[in-house]
Structure 1
Amino acid sequence: MTTLGTAPPLRAEEFANTAALLDAAARVHGDRDAYVEPGAGRISFAEWRFRARSLAAHLSERGVGKGDVVALILPSGIDYAVCFAAASILGAVTTGVNPRLGPRETEAIFAQARPALVIRDADAGLPAAPEGYPVMSRADAVAAATSGVGVAPTIAVTRSDPVSIVFTSGTTGLPKGAWFDADNLAASAAASGVMSAPYDRRLTGTPFPHAGYMSKLWDQLVWGTAVVMAPVPWSAAGMYTVLREERITVGGGVPTQWEKLLELPDLDRSAFTHLRVGVVGSAPASPALVSRVRDLIGVPLVVRYAMTESPTVTGTEPDDPVEIQFRTVGRPQHGMTVRITGDDGADLSVGEVGRIRIRGGCVTRGYWKAETLTAESFDEDGFFVSGDLGYFTDDGNLVLAGRVGDMYIRGGFNVHPIEVEHTLGEHPNVRQAAVVGHPAPVIGEIGVAFVVPGDSDRPPSLEDLRTWSRARLADYKAPDHVIVVDAIPLNAMAKIDRVALRSLAQEHLSRIPVGPRR
């Protein structure tokens, strides 16, 4: 088992900028895989550096320079990585456009970022760039990257210069661009903990415009990590093949993907000899799932808590009990400080739900070209004031209670959806659950639970789930209505889309009498 004391092949503190680190990674890691797209190709660290420097020379000739923004509208993969590195060599700032965003959100991103150049794949069904911005095709970028023609200029770039901008999903307003410098990226590498070991091979389904990729460039370069793309379209059989054939050491997936993997009839534990840890994202893994993964595959599942504004915050450890893995998001990672406060900013006691505030090297420097918004988002002690609610347990683990706007008030009592979702998720016939509040006469709001059943032919009844909840929570937290669905809708950041759920609840309950259950 890898420990937190394992040293990376390269030391981030020795490099002044991304270009210098990329050069060193090409020398030290050489022909080792940097990126693998199963069935499509792979690229070594040396080739990554070669292509990035070739493309940087071409971009420089087009007038791209230090401080300019380069927007990528590309599929996640090798070409995206080459473009990101090329822009970094020039001291330019890279932002990726999430393909799940609509025209309104995309236009808002461009209005804030004002890119000097857009690199786009017109054939991949990706969003179009708004009018008025220079566009370079993916094909032209690939041709320039592989040509070896030209020499990239040497640019004086420091660790405090911007490297990337990551935009939020825009579910609570227009997207906001959190920007990161090289010091941020170095801090993410230092805070990776069990997630990184020398020459890991990491299976990822994280879209590259997300903070989970855009903030991890230095982490990959110092550790020599091979980023292996998950199969598209995803399938359990495809995941199994990639885990085996690519000798994956760190495997990422949502709970449903792990469950479907375990259901494969030919699952062979000996096929996972390289895998040392599994990572759960988007939704909590039930204690039963954590135990089954340990029993059938032989590896622990860990949980990470992050946000666009801080790609690393807290995490569980491989030897944590299954209840810790399910009910909490672990303890603050290296260099990170977390506080739970009331509305007045005062620290709350253990067990009290309050606003999560974070400080540390992984936290964004602010919102791009939005000084007022940035000032409003940090308190006087330099803590970023998030929109998440949570509390600490006696043993120092952080428990999420939801978003500030997610809480609903039922008959005068506050209900935090995540607590109810965790409880419903423990039911043997519930694969996944999400809860939202819905207006109701007299009582104010009621809880509506959306449930993906374990057995779709015999989904759990409302009374069954209410009885289950009441045996574990206060009775007012039990759901008043249950809607069985095939899948929980996710937003552009792969988190539960509560806006969509509230609309579905309104549509469903408009056809039936609405009121609290007794």
Structure 2
Amino acid sequence: MTTQTRSTTTRPSLEDTFANTRELLDAAARVHGDRDAYVQPGSRTTFAQWISQSKAVARHFVDAGVGKGDVVTLLLPSGIDYATCYAAAAMVGAITSGVNGRLGPTETRSILAVSAPALVVYGSQPPPELESTRASVSLEELRTWYSDQGGDLPAVDIGRDDPVAIIFSSGTTGLPKGAWFDAANLAASAQAAGIMSAPYDRRMTSTPFSHAGYMSKLWDQLLWGTAIVIPPTPWTAAGMARTLTDERVTVGGGVPTQWAKLLEQPGLDRTSFPDLRVGVVATAPASPDLVQRTAELIGVPLVVRYAMTESPTVCGTDPEDSPEVQFRTVGRPQYGMTVHVTGSDGTTLPSGEVGRVRIKGGCVMRGYWRDPELTSGAFDSEGFFVTGDLGKFTPQGNLVLAGRFGDMYIRGGFNVHPVEVEQVIARHTAVRDAAVIGHSAPVIGEIGVAFVVPADPAHPPTLAELRAWTTTMLADYKAPDHVIVVDAIPQTAMAKTDRARLRELAVADPPPARS
């Protein structure tokens, strides 16, 4: 059992004394005023402009029949328009849900059916017609509301325990599920920010705004006065470098490959990004070599965060952690979070033993929207959320993820956790990225299939080389039995390894029959 109670070394620009999100938005407009709130290609807005614009939209929301407890669903790209609608809904006690633009029509219809919105705000494509949706408005019409100067918003009795956001999962194990959060959740997320937040940070992010990485951080942004910087698309290393410099970014996020490509830009040194104080690695661990090269070349520490839709903050590493800790672990539980690793019977396991990860704390969702049965099944008798992740604690208290509960495969009677093998393969000098799955095989049950993105496409690593490399660090039965070279590891809409797609690829490219 590990409980984290570390305090942050800095305090937010605003003290957390607010009864609800509406009060906090008003205070942020007064205190942060002319400071940037959002920067996107071709446009930017200050806190005062954003919140004034949101009030104008909130008045139109009320005219459209949106009130406390109603859902506003956003089919909008990430950016100022999305942020305006989110703040506007919070001002009238409504609840915001978002739809990731990469989701398909079946998933979108499911989200709309579950959220049953009073209003849908949409961009290029109108929403499907559903009985559960009362009204809709286009982005074009929405923007005509921004300059309206109406009267005061109606008084609404809103508390910290009222829902603010519904964040939908990616639907990789079925249709999307909506985790809902109240203002107290969002306040807890701000308290648990740790190294991720400092007064008036400028945070570069490519996370979709419908994702937990944005939706759960509204109070964090308002309390700390953080500017959200959205880089140009499509992503390029040169574009990332320009954004970091031109926008004086202090916190930069990216996947390991993006950080690696950034370091390949010519002429970089410790003066290249003078404002950047920390880099955040998303979706996959950064190799010790990448962590070390980033620190040595541009003087920036890389840290890792472990989170999920149901709990946008769980664990994290610190800048002073060694490259090996940054690579092999996801750090320690953050402020206010308790993490257990348990056996099949729910008992807590000692460090070093792999089990199911269970979490508890202010950042954990209140439940799944309009699904009490699913909510009840997600928590144990002690109130811990039972995740789908497997992991173990090191003696130093760092959590090591071993994979998803359903991803483990059994090779000849031995359990193999794919993440552990992936991390070893990814350290091979001929490998840029890797993923591993179990694949059905006669006699032995299952074998390991490794998907590899080579560092040099002209000279991909061989199966023999990767097996020899893996067995220098892991048991021989964990070495891959088959290697498939790919241009990129397929990703889900939430930028996670798409293991369902990998299983399809393994079927299409089976290992050769053993003689």
- Both proteins in one fold, TM over 0.5: yes
- 1:295-350 Cα distance to aligned partner (Å, 9 max, x none): 11101000000000000000000000000000000000000000000111000111
1:148 to partner: Cα distance = 2.6
Partner of residue 67 from structure 2, selected from 62, 65, 68: 65
Per the alignment, residue 128 of structure 2 pairs with 129
Per the alignment, residue 513 of structure 1 pairs with 512
Equivalent residues of 1:250, 1:278 under 8 A apart = yes
Q: For the residues of structure 2 that align with 1:421 and 1:514, how far apart are their CA atoms?
A: 24
1:455-474 → structure 2 map (5 Å cutoff): 455-474=456-475
Equivalent residues of 2:311, 2:365 under 8 A apart = yes
1:245-284 → structure 2 map (5 Å cutoff): 245-284=246-285
Equivalent residues of 1:441, 1:515 under 8 A apart = no
Quick one: structure 1 residues 86 and 403, their matched pair in 2 at CA, closer, same or farther if it must change by over 3 Å? same
Q: For the residues of structure 2 that align with 1:73 and 1:315, how far apart are their CA atoms?
A: 31
Per the alignment, residue 400 of structure 2 pairs with 399
1:111 to partner: Cα distance = 1.3
Quick one: structure 1 residues 495 and 514, their matched pair in 2 at CA, closer, same or farther if it must change by over 3 Å? farther
SS at structure 1 position matched to 2:244: helix
1:453 to partner: Cα distance = 1.0
Per the alignment, residue 104 of structure 1 pairs with 106
SS at structure 1 position matched to 2:145: helix
Task: Determine if the alignment matches structure 1 residue 33 to structure 2 residue 32.
Answer: no
Q: For the residues of structure 1 that align with 2:430 and 2:84, how far apart are their CA atoms?
A: 45
Task: Determine if the alignment matches structure 1 residue 9 to structure 2 residue 13.
Answer: yes
Per the alignment, residue 19 of structure 1 pairs with 22
Per the alignment, residue 46 of structure 2 pairs with 44
1:515 to partner: Cα distance = 5.1
1:35-434 → structure 2 map (5 Å cutoff): 35-38=38-41, 40-122=42-124, 128-132=127-131, 133=133, 134-434=135-435
| Residue identity in the other structure for 1:32 | R
1:173 to partner: Cα distance = 1.1
1:269 to partner: Cα distance = 3.0
RMSD: 1.2
Equivalent residues of 2:437, 2:449 under 8 A apart = yes
| Residue identity in the other structure for 2:512 | P
Per the alignment, residue 3 of structure 2 pairs with none
Equivalent residues of 1:31, 1:44 under 8 A apart = yes
- 1:271-318 Cα distance to aligned partner (Å, 9 max, x none): 211100000001110000001100111010000000000000000000
Q: For the residues of structure 2 that align with 1:514 and 1:308, how far apart are their CA atoms?
A: 41
Q: Which runs of 5 or more residues in structure 1 are unaligned?
A: none
Equivalent residues of 1:54, 1:151 under 8 A apart = no
SS at structure 2 position matched to 1:146: coil
- 1:346-367 Cα distance to aligned partner (Å, 9 max, x none): 0011110000000000000000
Q: For the residues of structure 1 that align with 2:142 and 2:152, how far apart are their CA atoms?
A: 15
SS at structure 2 position matched to 1:448: strand
Equivalent residues of 1:50, 1:148 under 8 A apart = no
Equivalent residues of 1:99, 1:127 under 8 A apart = no
Equivalent residues of 1:437, 1:446 under 8 A apart = yes
SS at structure 2 position matched to 1:285: coil
Instruction: Give TM-score scaled by structure 2 length.
Output: 0.97
Report which stretch shifted further, 146-155 or 435-444: 146-155
Quick one: structure 1 residues 267 and 488, their matched pair in 2 at CA, closer, same or farther if it must change by over 3 Å? same
| Residue identity in the other structure for 2:268 | L
| Residue identity in the other structure for 1:31 | D
Per the alignment, residue 452 of structure 1 pairs with 453
Q: For the residues of structure 2 that align with 1:127 and 1:451, how far apart are their CA atoms?
A: 40
SS at structure 1 position matched to 2:147: helix
1:145 to partner: Cα distance = 2.1
- 1:58-90 Cα distance to aligned partner (Å, 9 max, x none): 110110000000000001000000000000001
Q: For the residues of structure 2 that align with 1:213 and 1:484, how far apart are their CA atoms?
A: 34
Among the aligned pairs, what percent are the same residue? 64
Q: For the residues of structure 2 that align with 1:362 and 1:121, how far apart are their CA atoms?
A: 31
| Residue identity in the other structure for 2:8 | L
- 1:94-125 Cα distance to aligned partner (Å, 9 max, x none): 00001111111111111111011100002xxx
Quick one: structure 1 residues 514 and 70, their matched pair in 2 at CA, closer, same or farther if it must change by over 3 Å? farther
- 1:205-243 Cα distance to aligned partner (Å, 9 max, x none): 100000110000000000000000022111000000000
Q: For the residues of structure 2 that align with 1:261 and 1:419, how far apart are their CA atoms?
A: 26
Q: For the residues of structure 1 that align with 2:126 and 2:392, how far apart are their CA atoms?
A: 39
Equivalent residues of 1:53, 1:89 under 8 A apart = yes
SS at structure 1 position matched to 2:474: coil
Q: Which runs of 5 or more residues in structure 2 are unaligned?
A: 1-6
